[in-house]
């Protein structure tokens, strides 16, 4: 049994987004300053932060919590927040054939936007798909999507969108890429829009960052150690146990500490280099990155609904949202509107390196070209930033690459891997809450000593891919 000694080997948590912070919170009362969080940025919370600058408030990354999550996760989030968890109708829209229709598209809206000829084509696809089911595994993303939505819709919507999101040929992507949020909802949405109830999403009244603020308060109360602007540089092991780590901060100051448990929430290639002091022997798993532009417009630009998707390749962004639609308490006195514009890109590519002013111009062009805005809207001010590794890029062969890295690291009996980046999976807020709570429970009950229980849990998290 581990005791709560005040000094000695530490539980080191790498990464301070939701998964890492929640484990620290759950363990804080028992382990106090025997916990050490190591975060590369100079603030906690990663993409789960809400910032206020002057009279504007905006989220830096994550926007909303799905309403379709277990009640116990909702109860837990409500317990964490000292404010209301708002329930709001989910009404995203998509730019399509010069119109704005429900996203994911439903049959009624799609049919309205197609010509007679296109409708005959779609009808044929539908009959074919209903009468003949495809057998065998699809070989790649393109095949998987054609099976789901038919050739016509794939060509019309999904092909260009995939090329825009990944800067890659969809036939070279693996079938799992089709399970990602942007692509997977079509069939479910069709059924839901025809027969189901309206979907809701959840959002904390004062911004998504309220979750992190509450956790930080608790970590301070229990004196949990936090190193910001720091990274693990080197790891020592004894047999199958990690025994000691060296952490270096942005000024180059080094700290060494003995390790009881290492909990990783950061990408496995980074961990691999630190733990095994070597480059992985397989090609590195790949990521899609993003640039975000927050624009304060003088007048009203946003249409109805909280978010709009743009699958067209010629439009630089893929999603636009307006924060007041998430919580009317935010920016309530602001004149005009604050739009968050998300731009998919690859680190080091043309869009990633584009100057801020040029990026804003490209966004304004997109608003006009898509007819989202009837004329060029007037900008009061804008902010832009870059976000790395926002989405896993499931190229062909990714599973083998990921498994090799994962299994090599998972061999260490006191190393536990959770979260969005570490599991190379689009884990949303609710999934990170569940994983962090399950791991904390195993640690608090001293069941981590036999790793088999944890391995079973991870198999469960990964089996949806």
Ligand X SMILES: Cc1cc2nc3c(=O)[nH]c(=O)nc-3n(C[C@H](O)[C@H](O)[C@H](O)COP(=O)(O)OP(=O)(O)OC[C@H]3O[C@@H](n4cnc5c(N)ncnc54)[C@H](O)[C@@H]3O)c2cc1C
- How far apart are CB 267 and ligand X at their closest, in Å? 6
Contacts with ligand X in 409-438 (CB under 6 A)?
Answer: 419-421, 427-429, 432
Give me the DSSP letters along 433-449. Answer: HHHHHHHHHHHHTTGGG
Total binding residues for ligand X by CB under 6 A? Answer: 33
Q: Cα(291)–Cα(361) distance, rounded to whole angstroms?
A: 14
**Smaller CB separation from ligand X, 90 or 147:** 90
- How far apart are CB 70 and ligand X at their closest, in Å? 14
Residue 20 in the binding site for ligand X (CB under 6 A): yes
- How far apart are CB 265 and ligand X at their closest, in Å? 5
Q: Cα(221)–Cα(215) distance, rounded to whole angstroms?
A: 10
110-145 burial code (b ≥16 CB/10 A, e <16): beeebeeebeebbeebeeeeeeeeeeeebebbbbbb
> What are the Cα distances from residue 135, in Å, to 143, 144, 242?
12, 11, 46
- Contacting residue, 206, 331, 390, 414, with ligand X by CB under 6 A: 390
Q: 167 — alpha (psi -120 to 50), left (phi > 0) or beta?
A: left
Q: Cα(449)–Cα(413) distance, rounded to whole angstroms?
A: 8
Task: Judge contact between 21 and 37, C-beta under 8 A.
Answer: yes
Residue 92 in the binding site for ligand X (CB under 6 A): no
In 3D space, the residue among 116, 140, 143, 146 whose CA is nearest the CA of residue 128 turns out to be: 146
Site string for ligand X, 329-368 (x = CB under 6 A): ----------------------------------------
**Smaller CB separation from ligand X, 14 or 261:** 14
**Smaller CB separation from ligand X, 41 or 361:** 41
Site string for ligand X, 273-292 (x = CB under 6 A): -----------------x--
Of the candidate spans 61-69, 95-103, 182-190, 398-406, the one that interacts with ligand X by CB under 6 A turns out to be 61-69
Of the candidate spans 97-105, 166-174, 265-273, 328-336, the one that interacts with ligand X by CB under 6 A turns out to be 265-273
- Contacting residue, 61, 178, 209, 344, with ligand X by CB under 6 A: 61
> What are the Cα distances from residue 153, in Å, to 121, 130, 148, 158, 314?
10, 16, 10, 7, 18
**Smaller CB separation from ligand X, 66 or 97:** 66
Q: Where are the beta strands (DSSP E) in 349-454?
A: 379-393, 415-417
Q: Cα(312)–Cα(320) distance, rounded to whole angstroms?
A: 14
Tokens describing residue 350: 């043309």
- How far apart are CB 3 and ligand X at their closest, in Å? 28
Residue 266 in the binding site for ligand X (CB under 6 A): yes
Residue 15 in the binding site for ligand X (CB under 6 A): yes
Of the candidate spans 38-46, 149-157, 254-262, 439-447, the one that interacts with ligand X by CB under 6 A turns out to be 38-46
Residue 40 in the binding site for ligand X (CB under 6 A): yes
- How far apart are CB 184 and ligand X at their closest, in Å? 15
> What residue has token string 């927040």?
81
- How far apart are CB 43 and ligand X at their closest, in Å? 9
For residue 382, the tally of other CB atoms under 10 A from its CB is 19
- Contacting residue, 270, 306, 337, 438, with ligand X by CB under 6 A: 270
**Smaller CB separation from ligand X, 4 or 42:** 42
Handedness of CA 68, 73, 75, 77 (dihedral sign): negative
Of the candidate spans 62-70, 110-118, 280-288, 343-351, the one that interacts with ligand X by CB under 6 A turns out to be 62-70
Beta partners for 96?
A: 99
- How far apart are CB 299 and ligand X at their closest, in Å? 26
Of the candidate spans 10-18, 103-111, 332-340, 362-370, the one that interacts with ligand X by CB under 6 A turns out to be 10-18
Of the candidate spans 15-23, 83-91, 234-242, 293-301, the one that interacts with ligand X by CB under 6 A turns out to be 15-23
User: How, if at all, do strands 415-417 and 337-345 pair?
Assistant: unpaired
Angle, in degrees to the nearest 10, between helices 429-444 and 71-80? 80
Interface residues with ligand X (CB under 6 A) are 14-20, 38-41, 46-48, 61-65, 231, 265-266, 270, 290, 387, 390, 419-421, 427-429, 432
């Amino acid at each position: 049994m581990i005791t709560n000694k005040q000094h000695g080997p530490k539980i080191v948590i790498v990464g301070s987004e939701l998964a890492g912070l929640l484990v620290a919170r759950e363990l804080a009362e028992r382990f106090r300053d025997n916990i050490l969080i190591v975060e590369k940025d100079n603030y906690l919370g990663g993409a789960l932060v809400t910032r206020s600058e002057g009279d504007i408030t905006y989220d830096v990354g994550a926007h909303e919590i799905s309403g379709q999550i277990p009640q116990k996760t909702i109860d837990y989030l409500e317990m964490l927040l000292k404010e209301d968890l708002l329930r709001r109708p989910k009404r995203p829209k998509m730019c399509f054939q010069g119109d704005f229709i429900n996203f994911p598209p439903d049959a009624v809206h799609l049919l309205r936007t197609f010509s007679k000829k296109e409708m005959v084509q779609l009808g044929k696809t539908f009959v074919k798909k209903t009468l003949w089911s495809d057998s065998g595994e699809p070989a790649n993303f393109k095949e998987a999507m054609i099976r789901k939505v038919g050739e016509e819709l794939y060509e019309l919507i999904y092909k260009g969108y995939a090329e825009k999101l990944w800067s890659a040929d969809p036939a070279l992507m693996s079938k799992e890429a089709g399970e990602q949020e942007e692509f997977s909802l079509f069939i479910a949405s069709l059924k839901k829009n025809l027969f189901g109830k309206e979907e809701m999403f959840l959002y904390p009244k004062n911004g998504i960052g309220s979750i992190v603020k509450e956790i930080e308060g608790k970590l301070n109360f229990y004196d949990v150690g936090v190193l910001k602007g720091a990274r693990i540089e080197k790891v020592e092991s004894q047999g199958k146990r990690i025994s000691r780590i060296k952490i270096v901060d942005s000024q180059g100051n080094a700290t060494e500490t003995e390790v009881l448990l290492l909990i990783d929430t950061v990408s496995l290639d980074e961990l691999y280099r630190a733990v095994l002091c070597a480059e992985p022997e397989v090609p590195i798993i790949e990521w899609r990155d993003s640039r975000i532009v927050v624009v304060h417009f003088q007048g009203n630009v946003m249409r109805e609904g909280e978010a709009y998707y743009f699958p067209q390749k010629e439009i630089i962004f893929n999603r636009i949202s307006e924060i007041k639609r998430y919580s009317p308490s935010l920016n309530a006195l602001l004149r005009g509107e604050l739009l968050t514009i998300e731009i998919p890109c690859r680190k080091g590519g043309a869009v990633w390196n584009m100057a801020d002013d040029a990026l804003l111009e490209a966004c304004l062009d997109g608003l006009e070209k898509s007819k989202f805005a009837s004329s060029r809207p007037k900008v009061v001010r804008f902010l832009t930033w870059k976000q790395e590794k926002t989405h896993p890029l499931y190229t062909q062969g990714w599973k083998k690459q990921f498994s090799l890295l994962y299994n090599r690291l998972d061999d260490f009996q006191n190393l536990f891997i959770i979260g969005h980046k570490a599991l190379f999976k689009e884990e949303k807020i609710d999934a990170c809450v569940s994983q962090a709570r399950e791991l904390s429970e195993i640690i608090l009950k001293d069941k981590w000593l036999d790793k088999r229980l944890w391995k079973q849990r991870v198999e469960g998290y990964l089996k949806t891919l």
